[in-house]
Amino acid sequence: MKSVRRTAVKTKRTVKKTKKPLGVSKVRGGVVFTAFYPTACIVQVAGDFNGWQPQLTPMSKIDEQGIWQIKLPLTVGSYRYRFVVDGHWQHDPNNTATELNPYGDLNSVLQIGKK
């Protein structure tokens, strides 16, 4: 009887890196705000969901490229918000839904519907 030698073949598995979507994404338990500010030191989000107090919702820098993120437990409804980047208020550049605010600037608008 002949001896059959079996050799294990190693296959290289490539893990595809996915880009984190910028803007607002609905997730289980709320929404995730994701923004790209590579040179920022502090990024916060302020809106009618936190009384427009950015210090209550600081975003976390999640990588070295400048991606910032925060998850908030928002439920069904319509929300207005702005990012505060190193003290400068601005609308979310990745959200095309905007409306003029009383100060002549744009607020970003987030609409969360039922499933």
| Digit-coded pLDDT (tens) for 32-59 | 999 999 999 999 999 999 999 999 999 9
70-75 contact pairs (CB < 8 A, 24+) = 70/32, 70/33, 70/45, 71/27, 71/29, 71/30, 71/31, 71/32, 71/33, 72/30, 72/31, 72/32, 72/33, 72/45, 73/29, 73/30, 74/30, 74/31, 74/49, 74/110, 74/112, 75/30, 75/112
pLDDT in tens, 91-104: 999 999 999 999 99
Mean per-residue pLDDT, 17-46: 90
Compute the mean pLDDT over every residue in the chain, rounded to the nearest whole number: 87
- Identify the pLDDT of residue 7: 47
pLDDT, tens digit, for every residue of 55-84? 999 999 999 999 999 999 999 999 999 999
**At the topology level of CATH, where does 23-112 sit?**
Immunoglobulin-like (2.60.40)
